[in-house]
């Protein structure tokens, strides 16, 4: 049975079909979950994809966290289910309190759309479980507000518990401690600014995102087995 991934669609989301395509290319099943839905139809994992959810009104992710579907996403996260926020999805998970910190405007005050190099710094997450520490991945970023910031106490906690899963090599946006992606304490909730779905085929210039997406599919399959048993 293939892993079933729910891909959340808010008004203004624009990467849901890319994520769906990449998941299906790897043999998974991806279902679009409209933000007004209150249950996740029993999917094994959820991706909150990139875009401009609810127009990014007030702050990026601030309104999206109140969408009905987010209650079910928080329940899945609390139950140990894999939840991954990509780009705007990362901002949504921070606003929802599922991950610490916030994403502020890029240090260069420019919208960045380019392929960057990332180093895998922790494999204890649903997105990096199949990678090796120290792996270097070439994956695109596409954001104006990707500059990760948090309190010194939170940063110390993230570093001590090895919860920074991906760091930029050549920090493009000013992120604190070169942070590109983090996880929660249990490793089942992950947020990252780079777009692995846009590096899922050599025709796109890189397929380095596959190792991340495949890790997510494996985590979803494991989750399905756990729920079934």
Partner 1 sequence: MARFEARIDVSHLPGILDPQGATVEKALPALGYTNVTQVSVGKSIRLVVDAADEAAARAQVDEMCHRLLANPVIEAFSISLAELV
Q: Please report whether residue 26 would count as binding partner 1 according to CB under 8 A.
A: no
Identify whether the C-beta of residue 154 lies closer than 8 Å to the C-beta of residue 167.
no
197 catalytic? Reply is: yes
Backbone φ and ψ of 155, nearest 5°: -60, -45
195 catalytic? Reply is: yes
How many residues does this entry show for the chain?
A: 229
Q: Which residue in the list 16, 95, 145, 197 is annotated as catalytic?
A: 197
Strands (E), the chain: 4-9, 29-34, 45-48, 83-86, 102-104, 112-120, 136-143, 147-149, 164-169, 179-183, 189-192
**Binding region for partner 1 (CB under 8 A) out of 36-44, 54-62, 120-128, 200-208:** 54-62
Q: Which residue in the list 16, 54, 87, 94 is annotated as catalytic?
A: 87
List the structure tokens of 216. Answer: 């997510």
DSSP string, 14-45: -SHHHHHHHHHHTT-EEEEEETT-SS-TT-SE
Least separation in angstroms between CB 142 and partner 1: 18
Least separation in angstroms between CB 174 and partner 1: 8
35 catalytic? Reply is: no
List the structure tokens of 149. Answer: 């910031």
- Residue of 43, 73, 150, 179 interacting with partner 1 (CB under 8 A): 150
- Map the footprint of partner 1 across residues 66-85, applying CB under 8 A: 66
Closest to partner 1 by CB, 66 vs 226, is 66
Closest to partner 1 by CB, 58 vs 227, is 58
Identify whether the C-beta of residue 109 lies closer than 8 Å to the C-beta of residue 146.
no
What does the per-residue mask of binding to partner 1 show for 98-117, with x meaning CB under 8 A? ---xx-xxxx-x--------
- Map the footprint of partner 1 across residues 167-206, applying CB under 8 A: 174
**Binding region for partner 1 (CB under 8 A) out of 34-42, 56-64, 164-172, 209-217:** 56-64
Identify whether the C-beta of residue 191 lies closer than 8 Å to the C-beta of residue 84.
yes
* Rounded Cα gap, residues 41 and 54, in angstroms: 23
- The binding site for partner 1 (CB under 8 A) comprises 58-59, 62, 66, 94-95, 101-102, 104-107, 109, 147, 149-151, 174
Q: Catalytic residue numbers?
A: 87, 195, 197
């Amino acid at each position: 049975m293939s892993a079933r991934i729910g891909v959340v669609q808010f008004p203004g989301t624009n990467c849901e079909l890319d994520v769906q395509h990449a998941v299906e290319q790897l043999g998974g099943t991806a279902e679009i979950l409209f933000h007004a839905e209150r249950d996740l139809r029993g999917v094994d994992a959820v991706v909150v994809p990139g875009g401009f959810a609810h127009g990014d009104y007030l702050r990026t992710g601030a309104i999206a966290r109140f969408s009905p579907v987010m209650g079910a996403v928080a329940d899945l996260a609390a139950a140990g289910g894999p939840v991954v926020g990509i780009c705007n999805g990362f901002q949504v998970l921070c606003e929802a309190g599922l991950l610490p910190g916030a994403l502020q405007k890029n240090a260069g005050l420019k919208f960045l759309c380019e392929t960057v190099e990332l180093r895998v710094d922790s494999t204890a997450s649903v997105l990096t479980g199949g990678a090796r520490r120290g792996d270097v991945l070439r994956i695109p970023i596409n954001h104006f507000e990707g500059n990760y910031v948090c309190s010194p106490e939170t940063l110390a906690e993230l570093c001590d518990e090895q919860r920074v899963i991906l760091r930029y090599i050549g920090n493009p946006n000013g992120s604190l401690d070169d942070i590109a992606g983090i996880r929660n304490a249990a490793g089942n909730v992950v947020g990252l600014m780079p777009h692995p779905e846009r590096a899922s085929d050599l025709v796109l210039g890189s397929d380095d995102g596959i190792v991340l997406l495949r890790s997510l599919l494996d985590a979803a399959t494991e989750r399905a087995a756990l729920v079934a048993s």
